[in-house]
Structure 1
């Protein structure tokens, strides 16, 4: 069972990153307009997220994101060992996905990004994107509408691509993987640690918001 979950997270994260990176490269090949490039990147990501979460949720839970797995561990839904396995699967899968996308477009398999993404405004964007993602997932679970999570997550990420300054990475494994491509969707490795720190802060805030809204008051209301 663990092997299937590991494989589900590996394949899911690999496919997600291959889509993000591949559609980013294709977009820049097709258009010099950054707005159109972002739209192409967004549409491809939204569609693949819906597909992957729908199909792989029954197998692995379809986390594809260390933030989600870490909170699942805190909620005692995963053991420490399973959480580490998930982290490994997500990071390795994401890295492979980036390399596959690079190779599909005749780039070097590992093509370190030179796209510096620095600044407090971008980090705030990551806090917002990550907080919203975590809040949506766990409040949907709490409300018993798990089957709507594929649509809800895809919709949030699609919207956050456009309304956050960082274009919504919201995922440490994907952030690491995107440092391997010097393309539209890339991020220079030196920018990765700050992005991941912002994502962790956002996840903590999102989960705190979820707990606050769903906890019962002393009066039971």
Structure 2
């Protein structure tokens, strides 16, 4: 039984390593998102949608279009919140949990295997209905992350082109509140456009 368990764990590590190698080919990812935030106590949900950009080197930007236009950009050192043209820049050291989580998400989308494995226990299971999809569950090992996040689950697919994409992601907090992202129309590129680059100015 012990040998079988070790074999299964190694298989999951190999699967996750393969997924990360595919994801790591993506320098910059753009797409559309639909977000649902659910409060565990009240059962109420808040929906929003828009576009996102994730850069392996710089960080991530969420361009929310509905219900209110806004921008949230997060790097390892700062956050930018922009609503109705008014911009606020926040030192990341004042909210390390948020910037740490943003770095984790960026690392996941760009396949940084070592960083993810160091911070999370990883469970990777192939979907029964297809040979080209996986369900990945991340459980925090890092104390900073576990103080906020209980679990992250991800649906990932491998396209006929060989490109790997994350289609759905759900984060559950220690209070059992959840945030779910449905991601569509992903495009991979090597360069930021001018609208994106201004949020990542050094």
Q: Identify which of structures 1 and 2 has the higher relative contact order when contacts are C-alpha pairs closer than 8 Å and 6+ apart.
A: 1
TM-score, normalisation: structure 2 = 0.25
Greater percentage in helix: 1
**TM-score, normalised via structure 1 length:** 0.23
Give the structure with the higher percent strand. 2
